[in-house]
Amino acid sequence: MKEIKLSSGKKVLASDPFTPKDFFLNTFVGRQNEMRMITAAWLNSGNTPPLCPLLVGEPGVGKNRLVYEVAREMRLPLYPMQGHEDLTCDDLACGVRFSDKRSSAMEYVLSPLVTAMHEGGICFIDEIGKARPRALALLVSVLDERRYIDSTLLGERVYAQPGFRFIAATNTGEVNGLPEFIRSRMRPLVELGFPPKEEIEELAGRVLELNGQTPELLKEFWRLWTTANRKPTPRDTIHHFALASRLAQQPVITAGNNGHGAMVGRSANSITPDSLRESFEQLFQKNLK
């Protein structure tokens, strides 16, 4: 955490931004319409502040991944927060911790939200529908034209820099649980459905570099999901092929330099239809029975 100075002169610690690994960012597929809607909502306008999109979709369809890609495209630091039932106003604004310095006993620590406001980055609250209205009430002045937040702990008001952007996500079944004072300020509502078959197949090919095995494996992949009577999400697809690749590998114990054994295997291209079936049974079939 780095130390920054607020406009009042008070020194505080800022939350660290989140940067996804490069290999993860290389696997983004589709969602061009959704990206276009988010970036349009965030364009600068002389008369109105940037809008605050709300992403809505089933678990695993790629809401978080979409936010990571938008942040990368816009080259803005990303400050994610996790929504949950125990989220408090202090969690959204500022907390305290024991100081590592001898000169002070306690230190102020800005939340990812307030850090994004101060630094001009993106704040992303995932699972916002799980947070209680009492905590979310603190966001009202952040999401409208005021663009500031009041912290009782800090004893001051923090205004958002021009580059600050806000976005949140919630599962489809929880969107109606959001209080109206939040829903009315979060526009546009961007719905993420299940990706089309072509995008799922492209994702599988990119993640695992299936190469010449692709037609046979994808045929078996879709046959298995037909038996489940539902469509796979991007998360389902990655987990399905990832476990299948590990099941197909023939582990060999080799002696390392330190004398301890190390487990190695063949490449992910060793996936077989049998390992796909075993992976599906273990990850999904048991949960569907």
Give the closest residue to 203 by CA, choosing from 226, 229, 235: 235
Tens of pLDDT, residues 90-129: 899 988 776 666 656 678 889 999 999 999 999 999 999 9
pLDDT band at 71 (very low <50, low <70, confident <90, very high): very high
Tens of pLDDT, residues 237-276: 989 988 888 888 755 445 555 555 555 544 445 788 898 9
Please, how many CA atoms are within 13 Å of residue 2, restricted to the half-sphere of its CB? 8
Question: What radius of gyration do the chain's Cα atoms show?
Answer: 23
Q: pLDDT at position 260, please? A: 56
Tens of pLDDT, residues 213-237: 678 889 999 999 998 888 999 999 9
107 contact partners, CB below 8 Å, separation of at least 6: 12, 13, 96, 97, 98, 99, 100, 101
pLDDT averaged over the chain?
Answer: 85
Tokens of 48: 């109105």
Q: pLDDT at position 185, please? A: 95
> What percentage of the chain exceeds 90 in pLDDT?
55
Q: Within 10 A of 178 (CB to CB), how many other CB atoms are there?
A: 20
Tens of pLDDT, residues 162-214: 999 999 999 999 998 899 999 999 999 999 999 999 999 888 877 666 555 67
Q: pLDDT at position 102, please? A: 62
| Geometric angle at alpha carbon 83, from 39 and 232, rounded to 5° | 70
pLDDT > 90? residue 160: yes
Residue 91 sits at φ, ψ, to 5 deg, of: -60, -35
Tokens of 184: 């009315």
Residues 147 and 139: beta-carbon distance below 8 Å? no
pLDDT > 60? residue 39: yes
CA distance 203 to 238: 8
CA distance 194 to 101: 50
Positive or negative CA dihedral for 224, 230, 231, 234?
Answer: negative
Tens of pLDDT, residues 275-284: 899 999 999 8
pLDDT band at 152 (very low <50, low <70, confident <90, very high): confident
Q: pLDDT at position 7, please? A: 81
